Structure 1
C-alpha cells in the first residue's frame, strides 16, 4: 500500500547535489534524442528548474504537503495527455523540428521522448511524497516549468510569430492558468511564479526567434 508523507520538509544540500547530477543526465538525454530543437527549448527549461531548486534551498522553503499538491499535480498531468494528443494528431513532431532547420522526428521518436518524460515526471512525484526522495523534485519541477509554463509561452509565440495555428496551441492555452496555480502552490509564492514566467519568456523567446529567422 502506498502511503503519502504529508510533511516532506525542506531541501538539503545532498538533494541539490543529486538533482544537479540528474539535470546533467536529463540534459544529455534531451540532446541525444531531440537534437537542436530540444537544446533550444528543453535545456533552458531544465536550467530554470534547477535554479528554482536552489532558490527553494536558499530561502528554506518547505515542499508542499502531499494533500495540497499531489492531486493538483496529477490533475494537471492528466491534461498533458490531451495536449500530447493534440500535438500528435496535428503533426507537431514534423513542424516543431522544422522550425529550427532540423529533420522531422519519426513518430517513434516523438512518442518515446514523451512517454519516457511522463514516466519520469509521475514516478518522481510519487517517490518524493512516499519515500521523501526530494532530489526527484527536479523532473516533476521540469514538467511544471517546461511542460506547462513553457508550453503556454512557446505555443502562443509560434501562433503569433507565424500568424497561423501551430500544433498543440489550443490545449497549451490552459497552462497559462494551470501552470501558475501549480507552480505557485509548489513555491508558495505568486511573485516567484510570475518571475519564472518572465525569465522563461525572456530567455527562450529571443533564442528560438533568432534561430527561426536564421533558417527562413
Structure 2
C-alpha cells in the first residue's frame, strides 16, 4: 500500500512555499496581513513539521473533498458578509494601514480561493504533496483564524465587526477540517487552542488604539 505521508523533499518544498506566501502577503497587504496571514503561515509551518515527524498520512480524496470544498464554499458566504459590511475598509485601519481598495480585496480573495482549490485537487489526486501548504493555510487562517480573529475583534471593540456572524461557523468547520486532513482530532483541537492564544496576543498588541 502506498505511503501517503510527507517525504523530506515534500516538507522542504512546502516550507519554502510557505515562506514565499508570507513574503507575498507582506508585500501585498503590509502590517494587516502580517498580523493575520503571516501568523497563520507560521502555524502552517508548525503543522507541516508535525505531519512529517508523525508521518501523518493524507486522507483519501473521496472522504476529504466534501469536507474541504464544503468549508471553502462557506468562505464565499463569509466573504460576502465582509465585503458588504466594509471589512476591507475597517480592518486595515485597525493595524495602521490605509483601507484596501475593492479591487485589491476581491482579487486577493478570488485568486486565493482558486489556489486553495487547485492545491487540494493536485495534492490528493495527483500526489503533489508539497501543495498541502496552501491547503493548510486555508484551514489554519481562512477557517480557524477567521473564527478566532472576528470573535476577538468583537470582544475588544464591544460591537459588531464585519464578518463576525459568518465567521462563527468556522469554530466548527475549521477544527473539523483540520482533524480530517491530519488524521487527529486531539492535535487539531490542541493546535486550535495554541494558535488562538498566539493570534489573539498578536492582534491585541499590534492593534492601533
TM class by shorter chain equals over 0.9
Asked if the contact 1:8–1:129 (Cα under 8 Å) also holds between the matched residues in 2, the reply is: no
Determine whether 1:63 maps to 2:58: yes
Give distance in 2, aligned partners of 1:201 and 1:130.
32
Q: Out of 131, 137, 159, which is 1:142 matched to?
A: 137
2:168 aligned partner: 173
Give distance in 1, aligned partners of 2:93 and 2:194.
25
Q: 1:105-160 deviations in whole A, cap 9, x for unaligned?
A: 01011111111211110110011112100000000110000000000000000011
Give distance in 2, aligned partners of 1:205 and 1:22.
25
Give distance in 2, aligned partners of 1:188 and 1:28.
29
- Which runs of structure 1 show a deviation greater than 6 angstroms over 4 or more consecutive aligned residues? none
Determine whether 1:102 maps to 2:77: no
Deviation, 1:75, is 0.8
Deviation, 1:71, is 1.4
Which runs of structure 2 are paired with 1:1-216 in the superposition (5 Å)? 9-212=4-207, 215-216=208-209
Give distance in 1, aligned partners of 2:202 and 2:54.
30
Asked if the contact 1:9–1:62 (Cα under 8 Å) also holds between the matched residues in 2, the reply is: yes
SS across alignment from 2:206: helix
Deviation, 1:202, is 1.4
Give distance in 1, aligned partners of 2:3 and 2:26.
32
Give distance in 2, aligned partners of 1:84 and 1:76.
13
Deviation, 1:8, is 6.6
Give the gaps of 5 or more residues in structure 2: none
* TM-score, reference length from structure 2: 0.97
* TM-score, reference length from structure 1: 0.94
How much is the aligned-residue C-alpha RMSD, in angstroms? 1.3
